[in-house]
Amino acid sequence: MKKRVHAPNEELMTNTFTIPNVLSFLRIILITPFVVLFLMEDYVAAACIIVVSGLTDCFDGMIARKLHQESELGKVLDPLADKLTLLAVGICLIFIEPFVLPLMIVLVLKDLLMLIGGSIIIKKGIIPPKSKWYGKLGTVLFYVTVSVIVVMKIFNYVNITISVILLSLTVAVMVFALVMYIITFFKLMKNYNDEQNNSSKPTAQVSKNK
């Protein structure tokens, strides 16, 4: 029995429309109705959308590993959906609670530095490492903080102490995650440079002997 060979277009469709990628696309699509509902002050509906988005974020990586549907597109699409969602949620939250601004500044700086670092290692042909637990923890704390602030807003209950504690904890974890990713970046660059130096030594030695 002959093995079926996939046509290029069919293979592209297969690699693109996997369950994890569809879930990542869904998270990106959900950003628009969330922003609209939030700005219309329909916080309950907006919160429900974020819960759905958060659940898809939790399960897409698990599904990818379970069904062996990990793809290069997924490695880009998943963090992109995360960052766009976090940015949209943070900006919306600033409209009702301006003291969230410091958290957003930290978040944007962290993601910007990670984007620059990721671009550098990809250009050198280095495979980016998978998300670590501290990165995921920062995301979870961000969602928890946002959810608590929105719930307090829904019930007209303002508690600055709770908000400040949650925000401070989230910022601390994000800074810790950024430091750890920076350390990982320099380790990858060191290994890359060592490999480049080691691969050039035999050539240099042969030339010297001649």
pLDDT value for 106: 84
* Domain locations along the chain: 8-96, 98-194
pLDDT confidence of residue 64: 63
Integer angstrom CA distances of residue 94 from 32, 60, 145, 150: 17, 29, 13, 11
pLDDT in tens, 35-47: 999 989 898 898 8
**Which stretches in the chain have pLDDT values below 70?**
1-15, 60-61, 64-65, 67-74, 200-210
pLDDT value at residue 32 = 94
pLDDT score, position 176: 93
pLDDT of residue 36: 94
Place of tokens 């509902």: 37
Query: What pLDDT, on a 0 to 100 scale, did the predictor assign at position 5?
Result: 46
Tens-digit pLDDT profile for residues 116-128: 888 888 788 877 7
Q: How many CB atoms sit inside 10 A of residue 106's CB?
A: 18
pLDDT in tens, 1-23: 444 544 444 444 456 778 778 88
Classify residue 11 as exposed, middle or buried by CB count within 10 Å of its CB (0-12, 13-18, 19+).
Answer: exposed
